[in-house]
Structure 1
């Protein structure tokens, strides 16, 4: 089982690694569900941590419908991730009717090469996240999809998560999130069939 800890500081990242996290998702401003961290923080985390670091590329809070200018900002975040030595980047883009923004997702996934991409929880805004998997598995470079199955928690979304894993056909890893805690991570893995899980408190409270 791979446990990915979601953090917004170097201190939290180091604590998560010490407590058994296998990978870090590095963000700024988790109150906004995670934005692009500073280049300085990226460099520190990537150089000082013994585990892989994925960095968020998200220019603002709110919805996931991004303008051409914001897509350019995401390219800058990807450039910084590469320069910092990140192991991958995390982003998600939707159209105004909450479908996958295939054009810009393809563009950014290609731009991110050779770094693998995690398409983040934007997918949970879709009416049918399983349809999102269908689209994303046709886009080269998308390695993971972060999801709680369209629900507030992974436990509530477990049925959809199982369908998403089935639709992924092993081509994309479904990375399960949504109130995944150190106390329930084993249960959520068992119920969903997921081998990679993600959470703010997946290895306990980082304080």
Structure 2
């Protein structure tokens, strides 16, 4: 199993690494489910950790339908994170109809390449999680999808996660998220087949 710890400070990232995390998702404002961290924090974590750092790219809380000005900001933030040396970036975009915003997702993926790209839990707010996952599998450059299967917790979404994992021709790694802890992470992995697990308290 691979454990991805979601953190908002260098101290929390270092603690997660010491506890056995394999990868960091670095955010600010976890009380808003994670926003773009500062350039200084990104640099400090990249330089001070020995495990890969992924940076959240999310300019504000709320929904995942972005204006042109916000998309421009996201592009600038991706480039800033690239310069800082992150292993990947994390973002998610929807249309007003609750579909994956394929056009602008592709635009940000092009900006991010060759970094790894995780499409985050915006997918859980789409109208059809399975259909959204299938569409993302057709988009070159998406490395992972972070999801709880459209439910509040990964365990509640376990059947959806299992179905995603079993998708024929699947190109994308699934990272299960949603109230995962050392006490329940093995059970979730065994049930779904998903072995990349994410959480604030995953380790």
TM-score range, shorter-chain basis?
over 0.9
Task: Work out the number of aligned pairs and report it.
Answer: 203
Q: Would you identify which runs of 4 or more consecutive aligned residues in structure 1 move more than 3 Å?
A: none
Secondary structure of 2:179's counterpart equals: coil
Change (3 A) 1:43 1:148: same
CA distance in 2, matches of 1:48, 1:164: 35
Find the counterpart in structure 2 of residue 23 from structure 1.
Answer: 23
Unmatched segments (≥5 aa) in structure 2: none
Q: Residue 111 of structure 2 corresponds to which residue in structure 1? A: 111
Matched with 1:11 is 11
Distance 1:5 1:53 in 2: 10
- Helix, strand or coil at the partner of 1:149: coil
Name whichever of 167-176 and 147-156 sits farther off: 167-176
Q: Quick one: distance in 2 between partners of 1:151 and 1:40?
A: 34
Query: Normalized against structure 2, the TM-score is what?
Result: 0.98
Task: Summarize deviations over 1:151-190 as a string: whole Å, max 9, x none.
Answer: 0001100011111112263410010000011111111111
Counterpart of 1:38 in structure 2 is: 38
Distance in 1, matches of 2:116 and 2:23, equals: 14
Aligned mates of 1:132, 1:174 — CA distance in 2: 13
Which moved further from structure 2: 159-168 or 73-82?
159-168
Question: Secondary structure at the residue paired with 1:6?
Answer: strand
Q: Give distance in 1, aligned partners of 2:88 and 2:62.
A: 23
Unaligned runs of 5+ in 1: none
Residue 110 of structure 1 contacts residue 140 of structure 1 at CA under 8 Å; is this kept in 2? no
Following superposition, the deviation at residue 93 of structure 1 comes to 0.1
Task: Tell me if 1:124 matches 2:124.
Answer: yes
How far off its partner does 1:147 sit? 0.1
Q: What are the within-5 Å matches in structure 2 for residues 160-175 of structure 1? A: 160-167=160-167, 169-175=169-175
Partner of 1:150: 150
8 Å Cα contact 1:137-1:168 kept in structure 2: no
Match of 1:185 in 2: 185
CA distance in 1, matches of 2:168, 2:69: 31
User: For the structure 1 residues 168 and 105, does the alpha-carbon distance in structure 2 shift closer, same or farther, using more than 3 Å as the test?
Assistant: farther
Alpha-carbon contact 2:92-2:105 (below 8 Å) kept:
yes
Any residues of structure 2 matched to 1:57-96 within 5 Å, and which?
57-96=57-96
Measure the CA separation in 2 of the matches of 1:156 and 1:168: 23
1:59-98 per-residue CA deviation (whole Å, 9 max, x = no partner) reads 0000000111111111111011101100000000000011
Q: Which residue matches 2:176?
A: 176
SS of 2:198's partner is: strand
